[in-house]
Structure 1
Amino acid sequence: MKRLFVLATVAALLALPAQAQAAGPGRNYHVAPWGRDQAYGSPTSPFRTIGACLSRVRPGDTCLIHRGTYREQVTPPSGTKDAPITHAAYGDGPVTVDGTEPVTGWKDVGGGLVAADTKLPLDSDFNAVFLDNDRAPEGRWPNSGSDPLNTTWAEADPTSTDQHIDDPDLPAADWTGATVHLWAGSNPWAQQTGTVTATAPGNLDFKGGNHRCPPLCMGNQNYRNYYLVGSKAALDQPGEWYYDKAAHRLYLVPPKDGMAGHTATAKHRIWGMDLSNTSYVTVRGLNLWGTSLRTGPSSTGVVVDGLHATYISEFSTLPMPPDSDLAIPPSEGHIVASRILDSGVQILGTGNTLENSEISQSAGDGVLVRGTGNTVTDNYIHDVGWMGSYTPGIEINGNDHTVTHNTIRRTGRASIDTAWQLNGTEFHGNRIAYNDLSEAMRTSRDGSPFYVCCSLNGSGTSIDHNTAHDADGQVGFYVDNYSGHFLLHHNVAWNTGSRGTFFNGHTGPSIANQDHNSSYGPGINGNSVLLSGATDASGSYLSNIVGPQPVSASRTGDPPPVVRSNLISEQPGYTDAVNGELWPTAGSPVIDAGETIDGVTTEVRGAAADIGAYEYGEPIWSAGCSLPGCRQRVRHGTWTATASDGTDASAAVDGDINTRWTADTAQAPGQSLTVDLGESKTFDRLALDAGRDTSGQPYGFSVSASHDGTHWGKNLARVSGRSFTQDAAFPTRTARYVRITLTARGPVPWVVNDLRLYGEGPDASTTLQAEQGTSVVGAESGTAATGALGDGDRIGFGRASMSGDRLTVRLASTCTSGCTLQLRLDTPHGPLAATLPVHPTGSADTWQEQPVALSRRLTGIHTLYLVAKGGPRVAALDWLTIGE
């Protein structure tokens, strides 16, 4: 993860030169770590701190910030609509606003611990410690790995009750005052925390939490998961820490070689960039570390561009939101909204923008959007929401927001969510489109990548052209509990559990909800679309849906729901369903089989609209951002799996989250699963998905790789923890074979529902969409294709990992002779890999695939450029592939 962040940062900085980014006619001031705050702010006499620059800027001025780390809180003044103030990285290296301060003076205090006397200014709940620039975990029991989304839970005995835990595995210690984190109950749709009040061998008492029983309680329930933090008794592995607030003392289990040569910092500032009283300011190309950024309810005209924010929010308890934060009367169930309003990068107010940014590592929100008319576009948001409340990748409250072209992956719960407890019942005029949502629901079960709750009126809101996949919840798109007037269309979902889209009336109304022209693929075993439980479903309309499972709706209301023009088929003619390419091939039964829906089926070719999310013959749209890291899932080919116990392990690698391989005996060290990828792949992360069950996850495993299936290198990673999906991250490796070997015993056989690989950048054996090109010169890039490229124009794709000997380009062209497309490597004038003669397709909007053999087989990672040669309108581009 850190490597992706650095690459993204460097790419953004190289794209600036900052002199060209200065805002208008105002004055440019310079800031550099080698400067003086009493200086003039010139290039040769810069200020030392950003604050010194802010004290001097006026509307229209610019602070140009040179490379370095700035440990200060940045609170910019406002510009004006016609003369904003700009704060930008100069372009000579990373600029980091750091929310931490060094911790020094460590002393050995016995018991394998060191301690430092330091006064941390934040509430204990929000403390964070970093060791050698990595997050140090707060001491906890049971121990877990370094990835907070790979959580290890303890399991209480069935004799436990609402405020009491029985567990013979609980270590004998004084846990009084510790925080107990609960994920428990008959259907635990929320997580809770409480405070331990008394302990004895094998049990403890606590107060707090929701204790609504059932479904949210400890006791003889289906789920009895918990862990403990916030106690010195939990310190037992290197890097763990505990802060004694009364004594102002920070305890740490030091690295095995001691503290010499290691650096430790602690969080001091929640808001490193505080724009809560600021308007008409542009922030460009800055990094945040261990802190976050916020605008305020009165902010307007703020643009945050190219932000790279890491470890933005930390907390360890989940209190009930105060009544003053709630938009509706308080109730116990509103604990789910805990920490939504005090975490994440926050874009509040009216008419503000967050774009081209990478946001990662948060116990809570990735991004919070509140107010009216804000824009969040082309951002990469990942590894957030690990505390398991309703804090998502992007939380949207308010009206008339635009949230588009974001990639959101690895979230504790939803990728995109709205909290009606905080938002109220209006959700009008929001556009949520072209977002790629994956690996959601990592620490919960009852939810989905896209989630709406509850009683919301979505009039004027459109949720369209989004993809949801590889999630551990129940549904891809979930409109829950009495919400109505939501329009969904042209969405795509696969590997999302029981349903693609679910409108849940839940013994109440579900009025005027619609889903049109959506495509659903493998990994859905209930309904492609379901509207159920509604006492009134008047005006609901489900049409032009293609999927493997039925589309159905409650037959209530006046007028009753309309369900028609849908295709339910296991073989609908998708291009490559396992890899999420759910667009139709020639001869697909979806072609010309649909109906026209006003405002939805805007592009129709042939005799009628097509069924599904893609109109055959039109450019193929794609979702997600265009930054480094936005494309990571390695293409699934003809993979086979061999289990050491001889059982049939094909279900582990069939690309369907609902099928399962189960070993034949209880877990024991040495049991293994070996996967043949069919060809070498480049990857740096493996995900083992155990589906929606709460048992069967490995208690520990290692990962190794091989080129030939015979010679195996050292272990790439060792993983502990028992989360639903367990990730092993390691340095980038190219290999054909991968082996997972158990390293610990467990009471039940281990299971794998799905195995996925991830790697840095796009896998060029899959489709590279034109709109996702990292650079387009000479033509505009739309939502699914470029305009026509003329002689010398080009499109580039950064850091593509490839393996193949054939280039295929989908294009539209009216050029009748002499036009070609050159495939060049690394630079626009780099080595020529292929020359594709362009043949006319009949018109400027008639699309065809045209292939050509490469001059030699390409492997490895390159930047690709497709360069047009010939006339003034050589071709418009939809996508390209490099493959066999």
Structure 2
Amino acid sequence: MRLRHLSVLGATAALLTTPVQAQAAQSGHTYHVAPQGSDHAHGTQASPLRTIGACLDLVRPGDTCLIHKGTYREQLTPPSGTEGAPVTIAAYGDGPVSVDGTEKVTGWKDAGGGLIAADTDLPPDPDFNAVFLDNARAAEGRWPNSGADPLNATWAEADTTSTDQHIDDTDLPDADWTGATVHLWAGSNPWAQQTGTATASAPGKLDFKGGNYRCTPLCMGNQPYRNYYLVGSKAALDQPGEWYYDKAAHRLYLVPPKGGIARHTVTAKHRLWGVDLSDSSYVTVRGLDLWGTSLRTGKSSTGVVVDRLHATYISEYSTLPMPPDSDLATEPAEGHIVASRILDSGVQVLGTGNTLKNSEIAQSAGDGVLVRGNGNTVTNNYIHDVGWMGSYTPGIEINGNGHTVTHNTIRRTGRAAIDTAYQINGTEYHDNRIAYNDISEAMRTSRDGSPFYVCCYLNGTGSSIDHNTAHDSSGQNGYYVDNYSGHFKLHHNVAWNTGARGVYFNGHTGPSIANEDHNSSYGVGIGTASSALGGATDASGSYFSNIIGPKPVTATQTGNPLPIVRSNLISATPGYTNAVNGELWLTPGSPAIDAGEVVDGITTDTLGTAPDQGAYEYGAPIWSTGCDLPGCQQRVRHGNWSATASDGSNAAVTVDGDINTRWTGTAPQAAGQSLTVDLGESKTFNRLSLDAGRDTGGQQPYGFTVSVSGDGTHWGEPLARVSGRSFTQDAVFPQQTTARYVRITLTASGPTPWVVNDIRLYGAGPDAASTLQAEKATTVHGMGRGTAATGVLSSGDWVAFRKANVDGKHLTARLNSTCTKGCSLQLRLDAPDGPLAASVPVTGKGDWQEQTVTLKREVTGTHDLYLVAKGTSRLAALDWLTIRP
């Protein structure tokens, strides 16, 4: 039996007996705003104002604007409140409140050549234009054409005779490309993208100016990477929905939808900042939707709280200029092009002591969130589909000191999920806490980086990067502290399917001092080192211990004192629960149990005779990462999957869950070649990711469809069509589908055989066959959440997971209880008093136990799952549950 220094039930009981202070009622006046109101009205609920701006003209500290459902095309510039009396702008709660940054474009006329045009004034800087067709992003005219997903780009490839400012390409259409923007992803090892301007063109040839031509890793020429595309030219308009803005004539050109523009709506961006708090403090913004615009605080802002924001299409731009010298914290240099647009994009939390929480931030050419200043908080947010222009703009860019960035889910980013660029941050990076974040599907438009990336020369004294999970990304590492940075402390982190390494501290022929990694767990899809420090001239004081991983832990042995590497478990079979699915917690008998060493400030919750190795202490509740909002849990649990190829080759590695294994077709790509995946059982999903690795040798599929089948014999029409050549390509279905078999069929030819490293599936909600962590439940009733597990449930309390995808008949729950008689947890469907699917008897002696029961009947489909406590006043704490066949 393992000794316990602290009973979980005792700890949660202490929390539950602490009085909860109710939020003080907002003092001051309350004004109502509704689309049917009048700005000459009194602002009562019966006689509301028409615009939010009119309400903001009236409010004083302590006042509230309650906004009723509707669309508001205006920019909000709230006045400041005070620390004890903030100004509040909040959705009333009767439906969505949309602050729309666009205006309708009308007056369309035939412009010849299959185009229509409208005379309209768009924002002063044409680089930030955005156009929407029927409330969907319309693509700027582009050659070669690409699909609707900007993170799955189609590139042209220049010939090897190209030079730094010249492109030879026999496929380039014969047109006048002068003035077009040339977007480059090229060089010997292109760790960022860049843009230039076409100065002349001829058949198969293009001259351009700009780009980072002095930097060999990032230049066009006879390089391993010669990818480019063209935008910003009328010559590129050739498919429905594409647009071009003639800034001199103030005229917007559009390729109309099939059937004409009638009955379609076109809007264009007019306001970069729908909510501009750059001169405001002590303002609460709650429950607003932003469309085609963003929100920012300012350098002097303090006490701003942004809660339950839903922001979509927040930033758009078409060029990547060198950051102006005024934005730089370091001396100007050509390499600083990587920091382009970091300060121009995203939801921006600047200043001191401001908070962004419980929000969804999606669709941005640049940052998802920029946090800058001191002591700001970004917590429990879902950030996705950002950074597609390919500079260092991440899901969250962290500049400054003392910030708290926790419990965020960040997925599908062009480069890093979390990043710090010293070019604009400077070298100080003190006392930042980055914890309990789930970061995945990063590095969609770059090859040199990681989900967590910081660079360069940074001093991370007092900062802690802990309890994060990084996975399923096409970069090189899970956590990457690059180029001369020191004093970074990492611990209790998890990584799998991150390429070469779990963690890499890169000295890069310079110092890498006092960096640490402790009690971390690394799983499949790591090919070189579990944790490593390399290339350092001075690695003094670095320390690696209590790490579990499949590959060695290494550190350059230089410095005084020399780096410490000890007490680590290197094993392909360390006793993980399920490594392929990232469940890296320990099972009974694991050699990591009680095998770790004590590390001050790190091994603080030890059970047993010594700390365990790895990120999870055996016998303790399993902590989780990410947000608890809808959409935060999507990955479908990997089971006993198999794959067959139409060419007869062995395709098993495409579904082994390891991104470092690769299947290659036996012949150059041709329409009709296919892979068929048997999932072993029916699964519910709405997106398939095909990971083809980090190289661009023409081996990514040039186009494919995805079809599904229930029996492997009868196949319906394709659910998705994909074109593009990015590392990972996503097939998105119009709706959720349930199937056992999935077929990927090529639709285009290519010069080389196609490759597949990994196939993954995602659903619109959590997969109940995965481990549903109780602290990430969509809603809880009657008890509090913890970092791991719930508080103690009493009779009538419940935990709910909304829209879970279920296909099973066995429920397993991990519980901690002291109940001896008459206690149970009931699984009910779709409501707390909905149909009873199972009852789990609850008994225990105050330790964590797994209980499995058979459901009354097999449950399939999408359901809201409620686990309802029945019995005594103090029944059990819940860690996790699953429903499996």
What is the aligned partner in structure 2 of residue 513 from structure 1? 515
Q: Conserved in 2, the CA contact under 8 Å of 1:23 and 1:60?
A: no
Q: Conserved in 1, the CA contact under 8 Å of 2:481 and 2:506?
A: yes
- Cα distance in 1 for partners of 2:358, 2:807 equals 29
Partner deviation per Cα, 1:18-40 (whole Å, 9 max, x = no partner): xx999512111000000000000
1:371 to 370, 373, 376: 373
Aligned: 1:723 with 2:731? no
The runs of 5 or more residues in structure 2 that have no matched partner are 1-21
2:392 to 376, 390, 399: 390
Aligned: 1:865 with 2:869? no
Q: Conserved in 2, the CA contact under 8 Å of 1:106 and 1:116?
A: yes
* Structure 1 counterpart of 2:555, one-letter code: A
Matches within 5 A, 1:5-16: none
Q: Conserved in 2, the CA contact under 8 Å of 1:23 and 1:84?
A: no
What is the aligned partner in structure 2 of residue 99 from structure 1? 101
Bigger mean CA deviation after superposition, 289-298 or 800-809: 800-809
- Cα distance in 2 for partners of 1:257, 1:637 equals 46
Partner deviation per Cα, 1:509-567 (whole Å, 9 max, x = no partner): 00000000000000000000110000000000000000100000000010000000000
What is the aligned partner in structure 1 of residue 744 from structure 2? 740
Partner deviation per Cα, 1:33-59 (whole Å, 9 max, x = no partner): 000000000111100000000000111
2:652 to 630, 639, 650: 650
- Cα distance in 2 for partners of 1:121, 1:567 equals 58
* Structure 2 counterpart of 1:727, one-letter code: D
- Cα distance in 2 for partners of 1:181, 1:735 equals 40
- Cα distance in 1 for partners of 2:84, 2:368 equals 31
What is the aligned partner in structure 1 of residue 184 from structure 2? 182
* Structure 2 counterpart of 1:383, one-letter code: D
SS state at 1:215 partner: helix
1:697 to 694, 697, 700: 700
Q: 1:245 to 1:557 in 2, by over 3 A?
A: same
Partner deviation per Cα, 1:278-300 (whole Å, 9 max, x = no partner): 00010000000000000000000
What is the aligned partner in structure 2 of residue 12 from structure 1? none
Aligned: 1:32 with 2:22? no
Aligned: 1:626 with 2:628? yes
Q: Conserved in 1, the CA contact under 8 Å of 2:158 and 2:168?
A: yes
What is the aligned partner in structure 2 of residue 767 from structure 1? 771
1:84 to 83, 86, 106: 86
SS state at 2:152 partner: coil
What is the aligned partner in structure 1 of residue 758 from structure 2? 754
What is the aligned partner in structure 2 of residue 17 from structure 1? none
Q: Conserved in 1, the CA contact under 8 Å of 2:215 and 2:335?
A: no
- Cα distance in 2 for partners of 1:188, 1:852 equals 53
Matches within 5 A, 1:285-324: 285-324=287-326
Aligned: 1:807 with 2:811? yes
SS state at 1:370 partner: strand
- Cα distance in 2 for partners of 1:711, 1:418 equals 50
Partner deviation per Cα, 1:582-610 (whole Å, 9 max, x = no partner): 11111111111111111111111111111
SS state at 2:373 partner: coil
Partner deviation per Cα, 1:819-846 (whole Å, 9 max, x = no partner): 1111111111111111111111x22xx2
What is the aligned partner in structure 2 of residue 245 from structure 1? 247
Query: Identity of counterpart residues, as a percentage?
Result: 78
**CA-CA distance at 1:870 after TM superposition:** 1.3
**CA-CA distance at 1:122 after TM superposition:** 3.3
Q: Conserved in 2, the CA contact under 8 Å of 1:23 and 1:86?
A: no
What is the aligned partner in structure 2 of residue 556 from structure 1? 558
- Cα distance in 2 for partners of 1:869, 1:875 equals 10
What is the aligned partner in structure 2 of residue 826 from structure 1? 830
Q: Conserved in 2, the CA contact under 8 Å of 1:382 and 1:411?
A: yes
Partner deviation per Cα, 1:455-503 (whole Å, 9 max, x = no partner): 0000000000000000011000000000000000000000000111000
SS state at 2:454 partner: strand
What is the aligned partner in structure 2 of residue 496 from structure 1? 498
Q: Supply the RMSD in Å over aligned alpha carbons.
A: 0.9
What is the aligned partner in structure 1 of residue 211 from structure 2? 209
- Cα distance in 2 for partners of 1:257, 1:611 equals 64
**CA-CA distance at 1:212 after TM superposition:** 2.2
Aligned: 1:231 with 2:249? no
Q: Conserved in 2, the CA contact under 8 Å of 1:86 and 1:282?
A: yes
* Structure 2 counterpart of 1:146, one-letter code: A
What is the aligned partner in structure 2 of residue 477 from structure 1? 479
* Structure 1 counterpart of 2:743, one-letter code: R
* Structure 2 counterpart of 1:249, one-letter code: R
* Structure 2 counterpart of 1:344, one-letter code: G
Q: Conserved in 2, the CA contact under 8 Å of 1:279 and 1:299?
A: yes
Q: Conserved in 2, the CA contact under 8 Å of 1:23 and 1:61?
A: no
- Cα distance in 1 for partners of 2:662, 2:192 equals 27
What is the aligned partner in structure 1 of residue 3 from structure 2? none
What is the aligned partner in structure 1 of residue 223 from structure 2? 221
SS state at 1:341 partner: helix
What is the aligned partner in structure 1 of residue 8 from structure 2? none
What is the aligned partner in structure 2 of residue 579 from structure 1? 581
* Structure 2 counterpart of 1:243, one-letter code: Y
What is the aligned partner in structure 1 of residue 840 from structure 2? 836
- Cα distance in 2 for partners of 1:191, 1:471 equals 18
What is the aligned partner in structure 1 of residue 780 from structure 2? 776
* Structure 1 counterpart of 2:768, one-letter code: A
Partner deviation per Cα, 1:409-434 (whole Å, 9 max, x = no partner): 00000000001111110000000000
What is the aligned partner in structure 2 of residue 10 from structure 1? none
- Cα distance in 2 for partners of 1:264, 1:781 equals 44
2:594 to 592, 595, 605: 592
SS state at 2:153 partner: coil
Q: Conserved in 1, the CA contact under 8 Å of 2:215 and 2:334?
A: no
Number of matched pairs: 862
**CA-CA distance at 1:797 after TM superposition:** 1.3
Partner deviation per Cα, 1:765-789 (whole Å, 9 max, x = no partner): 1111011012222222110011211
Bigger mean CA deviation after superposition, 797-806 or 503-512: 797-806
SS state at 1:114 partner: strand
- Cα distance in 2 for partners of 1:520, 1:436 equals 15
Runs of 4+ in 1 over 4 A off after TM superposition: 20-23
* Structure 2 counterpart of 1:335, one-letter code: I
The runs of 5 or more residues in structure 1 that have no matched partner are 1-19
SS state at 2:58 partner: coil
Q: Conserved in 1, the CA contact under 8 Å of 2:496 and 2:526?
A: yes
Partner deviation per Cα, 1:743-784 (whole Å, 9 max, x = no partner): 111111011000011101110011110110122222221100
What is the aligned partner in structure 1 of residue 855 from structure 2? 854
- Cα distance in 2 for partners of 1:409, 1:434 equals 14
- Cα distance in 2 for partners of 1:314, 1:769 equals 36
- Cα distance in 1 for partners of 2:368, 2:357 equals 13
Bigger mean CA deviation after superposition, 232-241 or 853-862: 853-862
- Cα distance in 2 for partners of 1:419, 1:746 equals 37
SS state at 1:152 partner: coil
TM-score normalised to structure 2 length: 0.97
SS state at 2:654 partner: helix
Partner deviation per Cα, 1:256-303 (whole Å, 9 max, x = no partner): 111011000000000010000000010000000000000000000000
- Cα distance in 1 for partners of 2:760, 2:408 equals 21
Q: Conserved in 2, the CA contact under 8 Å of 1:21 and 1:88?
A: no
* Structure 1 counterpart of 2:301, one-letter code: S
Partner deviation per Cα, 1:86-129 (whole Å, 9 max, x = no partner): 11111111000000000011111111111111111231100000
**CA-CA distance at 1:806 after TM superposition:** 1.1
TM-score normalised to structure 1 length: 0.97
Aligned: 1:409 with 2:411? yes
